[in-house]
Structures are given as structure tokens and as C-alpha cells.
Structure 1
Amino acid sequence: MDIKFRFPNMINTLQVTGCHFDHQQPGWHYPRHHHHLFELLYCMEGEVEQEIHRDRFTLREGEWLLIKSGVRHQSSNRSGRTYGYFNVHFDLDDTDIRSRLSAAPFRHIPRSVGERTKLGEYVKKLEGIIPQSQNINEDASDQAGQLRYELSFEERLLLQSYTLLIIHEVLMLLNSPVLGPALPSQAPSSAAPRPASAMTADVAHAIEEKLLSGLSGDASVSRVARELNLSRSQCSKQFTKIYGMSPRQYVSRQKLNLAKELLVTTNLPVYAIADKLGFRSASHFSRQFRRWTGQSPTDYKPRA
């Protein structure tokens, strides 16, 4: 049977930061901190004590932990054994995925659940990307003194691919009843938050519509709040409950997605795209696009 099917256009960004394998000796401690990225942690050996908000628990070998962006946490190896782990910080500009990942401050994946998935297989694939010692540039070390390695183009693609596959497996677990609520053995405060009311969802969707309609002009949160008879803080709070990010972050992501699409699928000059997205000038747009992607709009455009 001849079936014709066209997939939708997809221009999304995956940010991967601090992806690494490491070992820490007994007594090691990483102080309380937070960051704007999601964090996935896999305990490969030993165990580590995690403290998130007021919850304290032990992450043991074979277990996974997803921590929502902005959540304060700290880690300590209080056991008498070496703690080995895989860790990755990431972010995606897909609003549906971010909303699912943001449903709870953190999610714990027990070993018995993780072993039913391909998570372990993908971690081994990532281990296979670890370079041989002769490929490491000893002059390029980070602030912690760890050596950095400049990945080849093929290795970067593999890193992004396996990271996305790991995120996919985690999302599948979050959507399945087999995982259950966040750490059910903990106090109710650590469980997943109560679902937002229908009214909150309606307000958030109304805010989204107005933000999208203003992408080419004034998409300010203050203006949208005034039009909906809300305070700016109410507007931000209700939107964040549903979408897992602030209205300002949402507008930036939508502008970035639209900018990428226009750069890739049209022949519009940079100044025309800047005007279409409501930037003051082409140079203002170029500076912002470089902050978003690390590339200039001209470099991002595909070559003929």
C-alpha cells in the first residue's frame, strides 16, 4: 500500500551543558545551588545523599534523578565507598516537553523501573564517545581543573542524539503509571504538585495567545497583564504553572524558533527578519540571536 505522509517542520534547540562521567571519594560534598537548566543524574556506583528543598534521601546504584530547573539542591557522599555517576544539564525550547519535565520539583526513578527501559543502554553509548587520552587537549581545562575535549562533528551529533533518547525515555516514564508520584515515601510536600485548575489553564492559554499575537511588536508581560486585568506577578505566576517557564522566557523561545524558521526556509534578509520579529534594528537582532545560539544569523543561514 502506497502511503504518503509528511512530517511537520521542527526547528527546536537542545542545550547540553556539563555532560560528564565522574567519580567522587567518601567525604565529597557539592554545596547547595540551583541553575536554569534541567538536571539528570544517574548513580552508576556507590551511593550519594541528595538534599532537595527540605527532602533528603539516598540515591543508590542504578537509580536516576531528574531535577527541575531553578530547584535548589546539594549532594554529599557520606558512604565509605566511591560514588560514580553520569550527569547532564539540559534545556529544550519545546513548550510541551518543558511543561512535562516541570510537573514536579524532582522525580526519582528506581533501579527496578530504570532497568525496564533503554536508559542504561544509552548511557553506555555515551561512554563510548569518551575520547582516548591522546585526543585530550591538556591546555583546555575548566574551572574545576577537569580536562576538556573538543568533540568532532560526528561526536557532537552522537552526544545530542543519545541525550535526546535519554530524555525521551524519561518522558515516557513520567507519562506512565509505573513510576508513580515523586518519591511517594517522602512527605506530601515532595510529591508532584496538584494539577492546575481549569481556570488557571484558561488564563495561561489566553496569555499565550496575546503573547503570540504580539511577537512582531509589543509582546510585553505588562501589556498582556493590563489587557487581562491581572497584575504582572499574577500573569507570570499563572502562566508558569501551566507552561513551566515565565512569559518572558516563552516569548524569547518563540522568537528564536521563528527566527530559525525564517532563516532556514526563506530568502528574507536579516534586516527584514529583525523587523518581522519586532527588533529595533538588524544589529540588535543579530546580537540577541548570537546570545541564543552562539552563531550570527548569517552563519546560521544554510549555504546554497
Structure 2
Amino acid sequence: MSSTYLPPELGESVHEVFYPDVQTTVNLFAIHLRSVGTDWDYPAHEHPKYELNYVTEGVQYMTINGTLYVQHAGELLLIPPGSVHSSQSRNGQGFTYFCMHFDIDDQLFLSLLARIKQVLFSADSPVTRQIEPVLHKLMSSAHDQSASAMVQRMQLQSAVFELFGHLWETVSQEAAQTFNDGYERIELAHMIRTRLQGLMSQQFKQGHEPDSHYGIDDIAAELGISPSHCNRVFKQVFGQSPRAVLSQMVLHEAKVLLGNPQLSVQNIAVMLGYKDIAHFSRQFKRWSGMSPSRYRQEQPALE
């Protein structure tokens, strides 16, 4: 049973630093390394996940949304969700490629990926150069016969998160050109989000009610910007206002606490800073579409 972070009583801490929360879920699908022959012709299809496709030998002819991409060895394709694509070998030559499909619930990461309109990355592009070593690590792990299935699974997950870290750095630089202020605007939005997480923790510790103690003005002052600029930059990058994201953080904490049967809904409302259970129940239902009690009852079915 999961449980949330319980902060110390006020006055106990001499010094503390809040690090960004890690609540990311990554789903990986159909990871494979495949060599194909001269008559390879995979029909047009689509899927709701990102596809990362890397050619190690030969040439792949990939048609994506009606556009033909000629992908040589060492080049990378990043295919967005919902893109209709097909693959072929031509000129009497086969090829070898590594492919993985992924979905990640990090909204900042997805917002950056969505801004990248480039699909094919050359072998000497910053994106390809940065993640190529991790791709080779992923491919080599498949040939490690000495490792157990669990060890291979953990190694795979470790390599994938390393890949996402490198991809984050390079894609951030690529996406910077879509903003007038460049990469600094993306970083500013990320700093605002980190402070929102700290604000959520402070509300949880001090018993402030989320709606009555928003704190965006304080965040803007700390960063030396106006509240309107703070809201505008954050929404440009995340597609949501800081208030909406803060509400999502409160909802997440509420769901985690509701997963603990030893806590009553009344206690959870108090822990989250609500003055009464009725207000908490109204807010929870507005955010999730059901009451806290019903969510708790249906939680096993939802998982």
C-alpha cells in the first residue's frame, strides 16, 4: 500500500531543500532489434505512442504521413503518436534497425517533444550523437545471456531513463528556437513548476488550504518576474496554468492518501489543509469526477 510523505512538525527542521518530485510513469512497448531482407515491406499503421527508430546497417525507406524519409545507418527517426507510417527496403538491400515505442506522463517532456517538428535526425545531429551510446547499450543488453530476466529488465529500465535524460537535454535545445526567449523560457517554466511542488509540500506541512493560499505571487517575486509573466510563460510551455498544475498535485496527494485505509476522509481533508470535509469532497469530485469515498471504494478496479 502506498503512502505519502509526512513532513516533520514545524520547528524541527534546521535547514531543508526541496528537490523536484519524481512521479513519472514510463511505458515501453515492442522494443526490438530486427534485420530484414530485400523484400521487406511493412504496411502503413499508426499507434498512440512515440516511436524511436534507429538504423544500424543499410537504408530504411520510411513513409510518415505521406512524406518519404530515407534513413541511412546511424540516423534516427522520432515518430509522433498518431502518425501513419510504413517501412520498406529497396534497391535489393536489406537493413537492420532498433525500435522502441514509449509513453511518459511527464508533461514538460511531452510538451517539448510535441514542439519538435523534425522527424529524421542525421548521424551528426546533437540528438543522435547524445543518445547513440545509450542506444548501443540497449542493443547490447539483448545479447547478455548471463543476466537473469529480472536483471535484464532493471538494466533496460536504467538505460531507458538515461536515454530520456539525454533526449531531454538535446530536445530542449532543439525546442528553444520555438520561443522568443529561447531555452531560458523553458528553464523558467521548469523552475516555476519546481517551486509549485515546494509550495504543495509547504501547504501540506502548514495546513494551508490550497484555494486560499495559492502562492503564485510569492513564486514570481522569488524569480524576479511579474505574476502575469509567470503565468504566461508557464502556460506557454506546459499548456496549463500554474493553478491547474497545483490542483493536479493536490489531487495526486489526495489519491495517495486515500489509498491508505487507516486514514479517514476527514483526516485526509485536514492533512491537505481543507477547513472541512465538505469542501475537500467538493473539490475532489470536481477534479476527479467522483467523491473521495467512491474513489476509495473503486480504487482496486481502477488499478
Report the TM-score range of the alignment, normalised by the length of the smaller protein.
Answer: 0.5 to 0.7
Aligned to 1:162: 159
Q: What value does the CA root-mean-square deviation take over the aligned residues? A: 4.7
What is the CA–CA distance in structure 2 between the aligned matches of 1:26 and 1:180, rounded to whole Å?
40
Answer yes or no: is 1:124 the counterpart of 2:130. Answer: no
Deviations 1:231-251 (A, max 9, x none): xxxxxxxxxx97589xxxx9x
Give the alignment of 1:182-221 within 5 angstroms: none
- Distance in structure 2 (CA, Å) of the matches to 1:269 and 1:18: 42
Task: Report if the CA contact (8 A) 2:121-2:128 is conserved.
Answer: no
1:70, distance to aligned residue in structure 2 (A): 1.3
* CA displacement at 1:120 relative to structure 2: 2.3
Q: Match of 2:57?
A: 45
What are the equivalent positions in structure 2 for 1:1-304 lying under 5 Å apart? 5-104=17-116, 106-113=118-125, 117-130=129-142, 151-152=149-150, 154-176=151-173, 257-258=252-253, 261-262=256-257, 268=263, 278=285, 279=290, 281=294, 282-288=296-302, 290=303
| Pairwise CA distance, 1:195 | 7.4
The Cα shift of 1:68 comes to 0.9
Higher relative contact order (CA 8 A, sep 6+): 2
Deviation, structure 1 residue 132: 5.6
* Partner secondary structure for residue 19 of structure 2: coil
Contact 1:11 1:260 in 2 (8 A): no
Larger Rg belongs to = 2
Change (3 A) 1:175 1:76: same
* Runs of at least 5 residues in structure 1 that lack an aligned partner in the other structure: 136-149, 182-193, 197-240, 291-304
**Which AA in structure 2 matches 1:51?**
T
Answer yes or no: is the 8 Å Cα contact 1:37–1:91 preserved in 2.
yes
1:98 partner letter: L
Cα distance in 2 between the residues matched to 1:110 and 1:53: 20
CA distance in 2, matches of 1:254, 1:74: 40
- Does the C-alpha gap of structure 1 residues 33 and 244 become closer, same or farther in structure 2, counting only changes over 3 Å? farther
Q: Secondary structure at the match of 1:120?
A: helix
- Look up the SS of the partner of 1:164 in the other structure: helix
Would the alpha carbon gap of residues 116 and 109 (structure 1) be closer, same or farther in structure 2, given more than 3 Å must change?
closer
> What per-residue deviation string (whole Å, max 9, x for no partner) do you get for residues 24-80 of structure 1?
111211111111111101011111111111211201100001111111111111132
Question: For 1:72 and 1:244, how far apart are their aligned partners in 2?
Answer: 25
User: TM-score scaled to structure 2, two decimals?
Assistant: 0.57
Which ranges of structure 2 fall in alignment gaps of 5 or more residues?
Answer: 1-14, 181-235, 270-280
Deviation string, structure 1 residues 143-196 (Cα, Å, up to 9, x no partner):
xxxxxxx931x322221221122233233222335x999xxxxxxxxxxxx879
Q: Per the alignment, do residues 175 and 9 of structure 1 end up closer, same or farther by CA in structure 2, a change over 3 Å counting?
A: closer
Does the CA-based 8 Å contact 2:38-2:92 persist in structure 1? Answer: yes
Q: Given that residues 39 and 89 in structure 1 are in contact (C-alpha distance below 8 angstroms), is that contact kept between their aligned partners in structure 2?
A: yes
> Per residue, is there more helix in 1 or in 2?
2
CA–CA distance in 2 between the matches of 1:54 and 1:112?
25
Q: Deviations over 1:109-152 (max 9, x none)?
A: 100125873422212221232156799xxxxxxxxxxxxxx931
Q: How many residues align?
A: 220
